[in-house]
Structure 1
Amino acid sequence: MEYKDKILAPGKSMDDAFVAILVCDTPIDALSEFGDFGDQAIALFRAAGMTDTLFRKYDVISKMEYPTAEELQRCQGLYLTGSRSDAFANSPWIDRLREFVRMCLQEYQFPITASCFGHQLVATALGLAVGRSPRGWEMGLTQVQINSAINLRPLISNSGKNNFTVMEMHQDEVLTNPANLPPGYVNVGSSAACGCQGLYKKHRVLTFQGHPEFTTACGEVLVESRRRAGQVDAALYNDAKSRNASLSNDGVEIGRCMVELFHGRL
């Protein structure tokens, strides 16, 4: 099967190892200047050091495109993007995506990374509960306390503090108690509004509830759109605007964590 959305790094051929980007949403008009979620992920990974890597985008929602078995033999890593859909829904494309991720976890050894919806989808593939957060929306630049059980601190520019700042934009979350994750998995960290901010398994999985691929400018557009749509109240909107203006975005540093996983160093 041939896919239209393939991005070749200079000097690379389609027979080289690559990172598969599973694009889990259709383009959003308000974010057209930033590209689709796959474009933003690739921009993040390039900024995080993967300048010579081959990336392949797969449209898993509109076209239900997936890497072939032959391609998966050369896959260096997998990334699942965010989405406006619910990871716990039972629609045909989400069911197929969940089964694909479950198969990859069971039959292949390449690392899997993800953000927001992708993080939640991986959680459902692991049998974890995902649903609406009882605290409602979490949005804007948000500080996340890193779980002391994992060593992300050397990879994130946070002046030695045990936290990072990431753009959040979600009302769903992993509801399973982080103490009850499958063997080998640990919770990345927690925020004031969300107890499970990611999943980590050594050399295999690193997901984030936030959007490291979202620049602050991109997040600002989404904060404004949520307010115009009446999805958030004035208090949350003003708080998010204040945090976006005062906090530094650690997105690229978080991307470096994913790159470390792709290279087998995390």
Structure 2
Amino acid sequence: MLIGLLQCDDVAPELIGRHGNYPTMFQRLFQRVDPDVRFRVWRCLDGEIPTDPDAVDAWMTTGSKFGVNDGHPWVDELAAFIRLLWRHGKPLVGICFGHQLIARALGGAVEKSARGWGVGISFNRVGERAEWMRPWQEALDLVVSHQDQVVTLPEGARVLAGSPFCPAYLMQIGDHFLGVQGHPEFARPYSADLMALRRAAIGEERVREGLASLAAAADDELMARWILNFIHHARSRPPE
């Protein structure tokens, strides 16, 4: 499977030597689950927006330090490409910023949460069991790093998992779009270093809570398996 990775940020220079950049993180994770998965990267943050929905088998959007409401031209151009993928029925999975941009591009709304930063491991309950959720479990615990959240779902979306802190954590739209607020590609050591780097912005108390949460296991490989199952399911749909 060839996945088009829509890269929307770079790892901070202070951390890239130890952890690599975001495409490397995605490659590491998904090749642990399926060695045949390959990625082709478009640097959307530099204005490199694809135009051909059929260039790859499926698409994935990374996280970003930028916000979907910040008014950057490349974000609006990427939103237009997301709408093109929607119209063509192409599989797309949005991670964090990508999850939020899918919602906004299709008519939903994203806002900075009054609950503050989500950092460390987030603990979520899966409220609806989809057929691609194999192997099945009721919890979905992933590393997070975000302030914004989806507050209004686009038409046709349904929430599959969430928590009191982030109710719209995992959403599916139709048969071919999936968004998750968490970062399955983030290893826990990277989460710790990222919190330390952003300590002043996040706040000391929230950083302490986030670091403590990293003692828990993360469902990163499970989420990667679910994502690949979802893509296979979306690609096997009969044409409309």
Change (3 A) 1:140 1:189: same
User: Is 1:122 paired with 2:94?
Assistant: no
User: Is 1:56 paired with 2:40?
Assistant: yes
Q: CA deviation at 1:120?
A: 0.5
Q: CA deviation at 1:87?
A: 1.0
CA separation in 1, counterparts of 2:169 and 2:131?
A: 15
User: Is 1:189 paired with 2:165?
Assistant: no
Q: CA deviation at 1:223?
A: 1.6
Task: Output one character per residue of 1:73-114: Cα deviation in whole Å (capped at 9) or x when no partner.
Answer: 2421000000000012221111101111111111x2221002
1:234 to 169, 187, 204: 204
Change (3 A) 1:191 1:151: farther
Change (3 A) 1:203 1:47: farther
Q: Secondary structure at the match of 2:40?
A: strand
CA separation in 1, counterparts of 2:131 and 2:15?
A: 33
TM-score by length of 1: 0.81
Counterpart code for 1:251: D
CA contact 2:4–2:60 (8 Å) conserved in 1: yes
Q: CA deviation at 1:138?
A: 0.8
Counterpart code for 2:151: L
CA contact 2:172–2:179 (8 Å) conserved in 1: yes
CA contact 2:51–2:81 (8 Å) conserved in 1: no
Instruction: Show the counterpart of 2:213.
Output: 243
Structure 1 consecutive aligned stretches of length 4 or more whose deviation exceeds 6 Å = none
Q: How does 1:89-100 map to 2 (within 5 A)?
A: 89-100=70-81
User: Is 1:67 paired with 2:53?
Assistant: no
Counterpart code for 1:148: E
CA separation in 1, counterparts of 2:194 and 2:11?
A: 13
Q: CA deviation at 1:261?
A: 1.5
Instruction: Show the counterpart of 2:12.
Output: 28
> Which stretches in structure 2 are left out of the alignment for 5+ residues?
236-240
> Which stretches in structure 1 are left out of the alignment for 5+ residues?
1-16
Q: CA deviation at 1:150?
A: 3.4
2:62 to 60, 77, 81: 81
Q: CA deviation at 1:204?
A: 0.3
2:22 to 2, 22, 37: 37
Q: CA deviation at 1:153?
A: 5.2
CA separation in 2, counterparts of 1:151 and 1:124?
A: 26
Number of equivalences: 234
Q: Secondary structure at the match of 1:87?
A: coil
Instruction: Show the counterpart of 1:14.
Output: none
TM-score by length of 2: 0.90
